[in-house]
Structure 1
Amino acid sequence: MKKNYYLICVLLLAAFCTTNVATAQNYFGDFPVKADPKTVGNKLSRRLMETKHQLYFDKGIHYAEVCTWYGALRFAELTNNKELIKLLRNRFELLFHLEKELLPPPIHVDQNMFGCLPLRFYNITKDQRYLDLGLPYADTQWQLPANANEEERKWDKKGYSWQTRLWIDDMYMITIVQSEAYKATGDPKYINRAAKEMVLYLDELQHPNGLFYHAPDVPYYWGRGDGWMAVGMTELLFNLPKNDPNRDRIMKGYLLMMNNLKKYVNKDGLWNQLIDQPDFWTETSGSAMFTYAMILGVQNGWLDKEEFAPIARRAWLGLCNYIDDKNDLTEVCIGTGKKNSKQYYMDRPRIAGDYHGQAPMIWCAYALLNNK
């Protein structure tokens, strides 16, 4: 009887250990219901359909809504959700006629990035109208306007976009529309100039600790600002040809940032409003961007799986705890201009459902579903 008892114990222990090992290796699967990527992605994508357009100073649809819309479209593609694609497309169709005045003018980096959305629709539908609408947003980033100022002319002469500002959020806004133009046309000029632009920003702005100040005259590592750099590098590396001469430099910047971000994970498994300040509050939009960057890094072999996958998994689980009953992500810092004041960043209002937070949560959802 004793032998049978010990044998049963050994077998149960072995089964327990095997289950734990299997679960530990499947970092991007076996999520609890509230953190299931397909469920979360679907709920947040449909939440977009319940909300009104957000405008950019009354000059067209705001880039944060574009990011959310773009994410929902990619999520619908990956899950082959034809109903959701139709809903997203119906929302867009109005921009060809009844809501045409909401199309952003291609006069600023934040407005030009709108082009990534029709270009993505073109890749799905092959409807020429989407290409004709989207491509000029990519082209005009490198077409100097007649009324350009001295600074804009300087960058144009050097082969960079006249919209170059050396603001860290540019490295998502510029690179995403150029990447989609490359995928839509196959013309390497789009992806090549995006890569060249990224190298400029890395050389000028990245610090030895891998992070980026919100602005050169504002010495604070603001979460969402750094988040734009993280996802910008990630998307560009994902789309950049292996033989691109700038790929190694961008990868170096990406790895430097990821290896330093892991040092600043807080008690929630996320990152603070000011990344390196332990007394600050958890900010979810930047955290979701870092999570997305790490998920893709692990999936594509850029980051060590055993080192970074547990960080990314814990972050995703932590983020899902911040989704409320309306399917809005909470604790999102409102839009923030630069200011050389630590207290300013501490006191920034936190809101729920802001597109700055909804977008990267949807990105994370489809990234997890694309697990290799």
Structure 2
Amino acid sequence: MRQILIFTVAVSLSMISFAHAQADLKHWPKGTSPEEIGQRVAQRFIETPHTNFGKPTPPKNITYSEVCVWYGALTFAKESGNKKLAGQLKDRFDILIKKEANLIPVPDHVDRTVFGAIPLELYQQTKQEVYFAIGKNYADKQWNTPDSLKLKPELQEYLRKGLSWQTRLWIDDMYMITLIQSQATRATNNTVYIDRAANEMVVYLNSLQRENGLFYHAPDVPFFWGRGNGWMAAGCAELLKTLPKNHSQRAKIMEGYKKMMATLLQYQDETGMWKQLIDDPQSWPETSCTGMFTFAIITGVKNGWLDKKLYEPAARKGWLALLTYFDKNGDIREVCQGTNKKNDRQYYLDRARLTGDMHGQAPLLWCATALLRN
């Protein structure tokens, strides 16, 4: 009888352990691990020429969506210890600055200034000064305007308030600005950059976050666009990773982040996805926002900002849901095309759904990186 009882207890404990393994962020079904998926997406990027938002024409400069994939691939290479991949990504940049310099963007807009995050990441990984100089220049110019530039009155007002002259109060900015400035602090250990990003973030929180925790695309566009909110979620996660715990703006930013995460839990569907318009039941499941939200949740769980029991299952569900849209070529489908702001619900519902677009590839790499972090 005693042996049967011991056996029963052992089996029960084993079942509990197995059940926990099926719900955590470390154990994955075959073919779905962050190591496997991250490698496939990164290799797909290595093989892909510079792209122009899916258009057949070559790009005039490196697009922000390519920057986001490049950054994700670099961080994935670091966390996975893949030196070969890191070398390939470095080579891609070296070729760019030596042979394709015409594609290097001018830091005159948030979508172009974010390019500096790539050389700053390369500097952190290699300590080569050439990358440091390039990246720091981008971060600095986001606040320091060239003398030749005549700013509109509203932009001059932003500068007087200590904000970037590239401020436009589009939700997308809160990834573009916070990433480059956070990267500059990580590379320099100078908190002036993270102070800038934090101050900017608080202004955007006050301007765009609604009572339900979600964000309008812009003050005059009252729709909860999925990827727009994804930019904010991912930007908050990147910022909070580097923002000092005693920073005067941290509590406000953390409050906005947690408020958003709590609402996102309510809108994650039974499959693990979020929609193109988050709160619109007639909208379609969209992969780039799902990836961005999943990254923000994983980062929150790993850093202890979010309740593990509540959010870890949502993160796991989001990751596995994304992979049902991932094909044998290393591309993810159902990615909303690049989107400007417009006060028109149907405009968002009718956006093209792309496959392999870098807006969707990037969050897969961010998630894979986040899952590998301790």
Q: TM-score when scaled to structure 1?
A: 0.95
Q: Which residue of 2 aligns with 1:324?
A: 327
Any residues of structure 2 matched to 1:302-321 within 5 Å, and which? 302-321=305-324
Whole-Å Cα distance in 2 between the matches of residues 183 and 19 of structure 1?
38
**Structure 1 residues 223-234: aligned runs within 5 Å:** 223-234=226-237
Q: Deviations over 1:223-253 (max 9, x none)?
A: 0000000010110000111111100010000
**1:169 aligns to 2:172 (yes or no):** yes
35, 39, 59: which one aligns with 2:36 = 39
Match of 1:77 in 2: 78
1:190-247 C-alpha deviation (Å, 9 max, x unpaired): 1111100100100111101010112222211010000000010110000111111100
Alpha-carbon distance in 2 for matches of 1:80, 1:171: 29
The one-letter amino acid paired with 2:198 is A
Distance 2:156 2:10 in 1: 72
Deviation at residue 273 of structure 1 after TM alignment: 0.6
> Which of residues 263, 267, 283 in structure 2 aligns to 1:264?
267
Q: Which runs of 5+ in 2 are unaligned?
A: none
Query: Partners of 1:13 and 1:177 in 2: how far apart?
Result: 51
Aligned amino acid, residue 83 of structure 1? K
Give 1:347 shift.
1.5
- Residues 296-337 of structure 1, C-alpha deviations (whole Å, 9 max, x = no match): 101111000000000111111111111011110111011112
Whole-angstrom distance in 2 between the partners of 1:54 and 1:190: 30
Instruction: For 1:312, give the aligned amino acid.
Output: A
Q: Distance in 2 between matches of 1:153 and 1:265?
A: 40
Distance 2:120 2:324 in 1: 33
* Aligned ranges 1:201-350 → 2 under 5 Å: 201-350=204-353
Using the alignment, how far apart are the partners of 1:337 and 1:215 within structure 2? 10
Is contact 1:142-1:161 (8 Å) kept? yes
Q: Hey, what does 1:367 align to over in structure 2?
A: 370
C-alpha distance in 1 between matches for 2:330 and 2:138: 32
Q: Which residue of 2 aligns with 1:129?
A: 130
**TM-score by structure 2 length?**
0.94
Contact 2:114 2:180 in 1 (8 A): yes
Give the share of equivalent positions with the same residue, in percent.
Answer: 49
Question: Over aligned residues, Cα RMSD in angstroms?
Answer: 1.8
**Are 2:40 and 2:330, in contact at CA under 8 Å, matched by a contact in 1?**
yes
Task: Find the partner of 1:19 among 9, 12, 17.
Answer: 17
Instruction: Name the aligned partner's letter for residue 356 of structure 1.
Output: H
Cα 1:6–1:125 change in 2 (3 A) is: closer
The range that moved more, 351-360 or 332-341, is 332-341
Structure-to-structure mapping, 1:41-56, within 5 angstroms: 41-55=38-52
Q: Is the 1:144–1:153 contact (alpha carbons within 8 Å) kept by the matching residues of 2?
A: no
Shift of 1:22: 3.7
The aligned counterpart of 2:105 is 104
Q: Does 1:181 align with 2:181?
A: no
The alignment of Structure 1 onto Structure 2 pairs a total of residues equal to: 368
1:23 Cα deviation (Å)? 1.9
1:34 offset after TM fit, Å? 2.2
* Structure 1 CA distance for aligned equivalents of residues 127 and 52 of structure 2: 28
> Offset of 1:267 from its aligned partner?
2.6
* Separation of aligned partners in 2, 1:161 and 1:359: 25
Structure 2 distance, partners of 1:136, 1:297, is: 30
CA distance in 2, matches of 1:13, 1:74: 40
Distance (whole Å) between structure 2 residues aligned to residue 345 and residue 96 of structure 1:
37
Secondary structure of the structure 1 residue equivalent to 2:99: coil
CA distance in 1 between partners of 2:367 and 2:141 (Å): 30
For 2:31 and 2:352, how far apart are their aligned partners in 1? 26
Residues 323 and 58 (structure 1 numbering): CA distance in 2 closer, same or farther, change over 3 Å? closer
| Cα separation, 2, equivalents of 1:285 and 1:162 | 28
Runs of at least 5 residues in structure 1 that lack an aligned partner in the other structure: none
Deviations 1:238-291 (A, max 9, x none): 011111110001000000000111000113211011000122110000010000
Contact 2:50–2:59 (Cα < 8 Å) also in 1: no
Contact 2:208–2:217 (Cα < 8 Å) also in 1: no
Deviations along 1:88-120, one digit per CA (max 9) or x if unpaired, are 011110122210111001111110000000011
Q: Which one-letter code corresponds to 1:107 in the other structure?
A: D
State the alpha-carbon separation in 2 of the partners of residues 55 and 334 from structure 1: 12
Distance 2:179 2:13 in 1: 46
Q: How far is 1:17 from its partner?
A: 2.9
Q: Following the alignment from structure 2 to structure 1, what is the Cα–Cα distance between the partners of residues 87 and 7?
A: 55
SS state of the match for residue 215, structure 2? coil
